[in-house]
Structure 1
Amino acid sequence: MSSVVETVTEVVLPILEEKQFELVEVEFVKEGKSWFLRIFIDKEGGIDIEECAYVSEQVSEKLDAMDPDPIPQAYFLEISSPGAERPLKKEKDFEKAVGSFIHISLYQAIDGQKQYEGILNEVTEEHLTLTYRVKTREKTVVFDRKNIAKARLAIQF
């Protein structure tokens, strides 16, 4: 984890805890010539634009007051909801997603596939079990947690 992400996480957590918001993810990335500091937040029932604006103001004030500046380069601050396709990062994210339709990307292919979408059936410390469709048939696959590059909720069409 980068020092910027660690520092911002330390700054944002007390602000979110005060409002009973959840920190979903902090990322600091360069896209083209610009740097972006993205903070994804959520709460039961979802986050609205006023709540994002409040967190943005609070985080900006705290970061601007820090000396030395933890982010010396120019950047854009974005505070938002993780959206309908929320990433699954923490253990509780996976546990809450049991029974939901999810997307999984793997480091190493299983049966020639590195991406799967289906219903998350079971979560253990070492494995995830997913039921997915191949044409008209349902199949179940068990993933080793170490092989999962990314996981997120998905919209089923």
Structure 2
Amino acid sequence: MTRRPTGAGSRETDRRQHELEVQVRPVVEGAGFDLEALTVTQAGRRSVVRVIVDSDAGVSLDDIATLSRAVSQELDAGDDGFGSQPYTLEVTSPGVDRPLTDQRHWRRAVGRLVEWVDDGRKVQGRVVKVAGDVVTLDIGGTTREHQRETVSPARVQVEFSKPDGGKEQRS
């Protein structure tokens, strides 16, 4: 998925961003990760290429370093000379504030406390299970199934101590 940064709007920027996504996606997926987003923004005379990746197993700092080298090599080897222009490459994982929208986002949040807005009020629940478009949530001790679109977008909440003593609740 390619997201346009706020304030961007030229067709050339959109075209270039799409071309880079097509170029970088096989490198990211070949390493076993999902390409969550790729954006290109201008910072003075440099371009900033931000590549956001994720996986079911998470993303470690070693993964980021390995992917950074591989993506940089791909950009530098491109026939169009993008690598010859000054650019800064940022490879990162999604932050905890990333909205849970896709099924894979919800699947990766099993065991986590999430918050969403329902009829204008904030609701929190713990993700128990995800099966297709159905999300099972524990809300105040009651387990309920919801269609994913009715609780999306939700955001993972930061917890300093988990109710199960800190153990992950993965299924």
Whether 1:102 aligns to 2:114 is yes
TM-score normalised by structure 2 residue count: 0.56
SS in 2 for 1:82: coil
Greater shift, 90-99 or 27-36, is seen at: 27-36
| RCO comparison, higher one (Cα < 8 Å, 6+) | 1
- What is the Cα deviation at residue 94 of structure 1? 1.9
Where structure 1 has 5 or more consecutive residues not aligned to the other structure, the ranges are none
How many residues align structurally? 147
1:79 CA displacement: 0.8
CA 1:128 to 1:42, structure 2 compared with 1: closer, same or farther past 3 Å? closer
The equivalent residue for 2:156 is 153
Q: What residue in structure 2 maps to residue 81 of structure 1?
A: 93
Q: Deviations over 1:82-114 (max 9, x none)?
A: 35566545423323433432244x5xxx3322x
- 1:6-52 per-residue CA deviation (whole Å, 9 max, x = no partner) reads 43333333323443x31251231648868642222345654333432
Aligned equivalents of 1:7 and 1:63: distance in 2? 11
TM-score (normalizing by structure 1):
0.59
1:112 aligns with 2:120: yes
- The residue identity in structure 2 corresponding to 1:66 is G
Distance (whole Å) between structure 2 residues aligned to residue 44 and residue 128 of structure 1: 17
Q: Give the whole-Å Cα distance in 1 for the aligned partners of 2:47 and 2:99.
A: 21
Q: Within 5 Å, give how 1:1-157 maps onto structure 2.
A: 1=2, 2-19=14-31, 21-28=32-39, 30=41, 36-43=48-55, 46-68=58-80, 75-82=87-94, 88-104=100-116, 110-113=118-121, 115-123=122-130, 128-133=135-140, 142=146, 145=149, 148=152, 150-157=153-160
Identity of aligned residues (%): 26
Runs of at least 5 residues in structure 2 that lack an aligned partner in the other structure: 3-13, 161-171
RMSD: 4.2
Whole-angstrom CA distance in 2 between matches of 1:142 and 1:101? 15
What amino acid is the match of 2:50? R
Secondary structure of the residue that 1:27 maps to in structure 2?
strand
- The alpha carbon displacement at 1:80 in A equals 2.0
Greater strand content: 1
